[in-house]
Structure 1
């Protein structure tokens, strides 16, 4: 993995995790907390996101091998998941993939820095599947270390955004958050289509040869 590939992977993972989508949930969960407690909740969530992403980096490839799943098949599945997430972002809707009925109820409770904020709202199926695809697309210890750095950087960005969540809401407002979410959804849709294309080409090599 070269530097440009690292940058692309980092941006893609950040868009998929979409920290701005977690802001409304964070603000609701911390509405009765002091400013210090709100910031502690944000940092706890970011730390949990980092741990989840790192686990995905280091067990992603062995997990696919154990289950007998080939990379192209996982690329197609991951592409479908990402495209659904992209549509929900473009329509300013809560993703049906990220939240079950039980998870929505949990969001209304007074605690939830790890569940449901860290997982599945931020480090959801999209982020996890994206990392597993990257691990298999860029094998080797060096690339795993690079992907780990990317995961840590994403967690750090999450930490900063969630730490200043109350300030960000006042600065850009709900309309600003919706605009950014829609732009992110457009980028994510392109990433999803590329993943689907790569997966289909891998499953049916004759399609690539026909080009």
Structure 2
């Protein structure tokens, strides 16, 4: 049973980290921050990470309930989440920034802001619709195996580990950017795009299959 918990924890954490894509977010943050103020990275990293953490926990404990109020079940969330993630994955596979995360207009507006940590870095660059769908789907899937409490504990632990990765990536964005360079960032983004694409495909298949069985 312990091995099942560890295996699920690793799976969920890898899924969240890949979809959050903190390395790409770190690169975007560097492009938005003045090179003359490197000391500002730490407070920005902290506030952006805190924003993602609060948004993730809010989604975990109330996201599915909100969708149910609109008559939307988890299977439908899997389908639309899979489509959104597939769009992100395709852009990542081509080494491009996804419009599903943020638009050029949002980026232009961000350049005029003094504090980019909450918007657009925390939301929507890091925490977007793909992360919302992933958290809800993972929690629903884990409930069937580990029960409601066990699922909440597992997803909470996955969120904590993912958030730690996000903070470290943003905190040391300058070092990461210098170490990987543009080519390294593109290669890593493409690899992560394949993982996101696989997750998206699984969401789509499970969602469509479940809706088909319900209709039958």
TM-score (norm 1): 0.92
Unaligned runs of 5+ in 1: none
Superposed CA offset, 1:101-132 (max 9, x none): 44122232332111000110011111111101
Aligned position for 2:167: 159
> Aligned equivalents of 1:33 and 1:65: distance in 2?
48
Q: CA RMSD in A?
A: 1.9
Aligned partners of 1:87 and 1:185 also within 8 Å: yes
Aligned partners of 2:64 and 2:74 also within 8 Å: no
Q: CA deviation at 1:190?
A: 0.8
Q: CA deviation at 1:33?
A: 5.2
Alpha carbons of structure 1 residues 173 and 32: separation in structure 2 relative to 1, 3 Å = closer
Superposed CA offset, 1:85-108 (max 9, x none): 000101111111111344122232
Q: CA deviation at 1:206?
A: 8.6
Alpha carbons of structure 1 residues 16 and 201: separation in structure 2 relative to 1, 3 Å = same
Report how many residues are paired. 208
SS of the residue aligned with 1:93? Answer: coil
Aligned position for 2:137: 133
Q: CA deviation at 1:136?
A: 2.2
Aligned partners of 1:60 and 1:135 also within 8 Å: no
Superposed CA offset, 1:134-156 (max 9, x none): 22223312211221121121111
Aligned partners of 1:83 and 1:188 also within 8 Å: yes
Aligned partners of 2:45 and 2:167 also within 8 Å: yes
Aligned position for 1:169: 177
Higher mean alpha-carbon deviation, 30-39 vs 125-134, is at 30-39
Superposed CA offset, 1:148-178 (max 9, x none): 1211211111100110001111111111011
Aligned position for 1:205: 213
Quick one: which of 120, 124, 139 aligns to 2:124? 120
Is residue 202 of structure 2 the alignment partner of residue 194 of structure 1? yes
Is residue 8 of structure 2 the alignment partner of residue 5 of structure 1? yes
SS of the residue aligned with 2:30? Answer: helix
Aligned partners of 1:61 and 1:135 also within 8 Å: no
> Aligned equivalents of 1:138 and 1:33: distance in 2?
46
Higher mean alpha-carbon deviation, 91-100 vs 33-42, is at 33-42
Runs of 4+ in structure 1 deviating by more than 4 angstroms, as ranges, are none
Aligned partners of 1:76 and 1:200 also within 8 Å: yes
TM-score (norm 2): 0.90
